[in-house]
Structure 1
Amino acid sequence: MLNISETIWQRWHNWLDDDTYWPVHSALIHGDLHPGHILVDQNYRVTGLLDWTEASVANPATDFALYYAIFGESALSHLLQQYQQSGGQVWPRMHDHIVELYCAYPVMIAMFVLRTGEKSYIELAQMMLSTHEQQIVGLGY
């Protein structure tokens, strides 16, 4: 269904095989947290979240992956500091795990296609795989 390069395939396997990336706890997650699902007031304070159809008790890093994609490394580091200061539970490699989770995002899109039959998303997943491969090769992986 998707063309996956050996570079990305190996990166995913390295991440999956290394327990130090992974949390030992779970949390209630939104599951599809992105700007379109976040309500803010005139002072840019979050007032609510929309569309809880993907909510579950799962990997707490899930809701940080798209934030990383949109705002980048330094913003993610800052958010994780704020999250921990506000009582959120973090683990030593949470930042690295979020980056790897985002790199695996095309798989989540493909799984959505398999669950829903929405074939139009396959093109998006393949485009993301190509983009991820360029980023990975650029980082020396």
Structure 2
Amino acid sequence: MESSNQWDAEWEVSEELAYKLISSQFPQLATKSVKKLGHGWDNTVFLVGAEYAFRFPRREVAINSLRMEGKILPKLKDYFSIAYSIPLFFGEGDYNYPAPFLGYPYLFGEFPIGLTDKQRALSATTLAQFLKGLHAFPVQIAQENGVQHDHRNLTDIAMRKEKIHKFISDLALHFSEEEYHAISNYLEQLRTERVNQKYVFLHGDLHFKNILVDENGRVSGIIDWGDINIGHPACDLNVVYSFLPPDARSDFFKEYGDVDEETKILSRLIAIYIPILIMMQAIDDKDERLVDEAKANIKRALSD
């Protein structure tokens, strides 16, 4: 029986295959070790030596995104100062592996899992400066380099509410009664059905698995740009609610600039929606640490 999870791999990339692809196309890396770091919905990631990270698509849908990423990411360096993934190695499929792949300098840091509210508040201004610069990147240049408009119908809140209702029903056994009712009550009180579209350049998938922090818990890097698109800033601004504690959000908006109420409503909804998706995959992977962090993100997003 075939599995039908959205995150299931169409191609598995082993450490052996990754080494063959990397060493044959980039001989200067042939003496370096190749170690699997993990995977997301779209890519498998390997550490090469101690200096580079390589991302290999695990689903066909990720191929065009990776090619576009290779073109657009080098153009972002003048728009913000935070470390991010800039591709250095551009590989192509071989050995029966059908997809291109990219290699980047390895960004040191940890995922922001289990941080205190005090640690999270340290990054309010850093995140605001990053997103203010990112969202200022010219949409026209993005379009000229193949960046597409959001295909996810993000501004349709009614549709996303319906999806969340289904997801939490499917995941009911993994929520406490209090957690389940907190999400349900939030959805019932959310009366907005759609917001007006806005068009800015987006990371497109900003959440705790794509953010790195230093030893003090301060944001130090942003990774996995495979969902770059042009769309509503709320898609990225979800981190104001999922990452930052309530008392740090005003500091964020002081730096980023205030946004309208519709944008805040959609940002909070996405801040709940994305961790639920992460939670679904983490349950399938039996990764309780990620399940717990996803729940903590949801709880924070529901807090005022």
Where on the TM-score scale, by shorter chain, does this alignment land: which range? Answer: 0.5 to 0.7
The yes-or-no answer on 1:52 pairing with 2:225 is: yes
Question: Residues 91 and 70 (structure 1 numbering): CA distance in 2 closer, same or farther, change over 3 Å?
Answer: same
1:94 to 256, 263, 267: 263
- Which residue in the other structure is 2:187 paired with? 12
CA distance, structure 2, for counterparts of residue 52 and residue 135 of structure 1: 23
Give the alignment's TM-score, normalised by structure 1.
0.54
- Which residue in the other structure is 1:73 paired with? 246
Question: Residues 92 and 110 (structure 1 numbering): CA distance in 2 closer, same or farther, change over 3 Å?
Answer: same
2:285 to 120, 127, 130: 120
Unpaired runs of 5+ residues, structure 1, are none
More strand by share: 2
CA distance, structure 1, for counterparts of residue 238 and residue 268 of structure 2: 7
User: Does the CA-based 8 Å contact 1:23-1:91 persist in structure 2?
Assistant: no
Letter paired with 1:8: I
User: Does the CA-based 8 Å contact 1:31-1:63 persist in structure 2?
Assistant: yes
- Which residue in the other structure is 1:26 paired with? 199
Q: Percent identity?
A: 19
Unpaired runs of 5+ residues, structure 2, are 1-169
Question: Residues 121 and 69 (structure 1 numbering): CA distance in 2 closer, same or farther, change over 3 Å?
Answer: farther
Question: Residues 134 and 38 (structure 1 numbering): CA distance in 2 closer, same or farther, change over 3 Å?
Answer: closer
CA distance, structure 1, for counterparts of residue 182 and residue 211 of structure 2: 33
CA distance, structure 2, for counterparts of residue 27 and residue 12 of structure 1: 27
- Which residue in the other structure is 1:64 paired with? 237
User: Does the CA-based 8 Å contact 1:34-1:67 persist in structure 2?
Assistant: no
Q: CA deviation at 1:27?
A: 2.5
SS for the counterpart of 1:52 is coil
SS for the counterpart of 1:31 is coil
**Larger Rg over CA atoms:** 2
Give the alignment's TM-score, normalised by structure 2.
0.30
More helix by share: 1
CA distance, structure 2, for counterparts of residue 57 and residue 121 of structure 1: 34
Letter paired with 1:26: Y
Question: Residues 68 and 106 (structure 1 numbering): CA distance in 2 closer, same or farther, change over 3 Å?
Answer: closer
Alignment of 1:34-49 (within 5 A): 37=211, 49=222
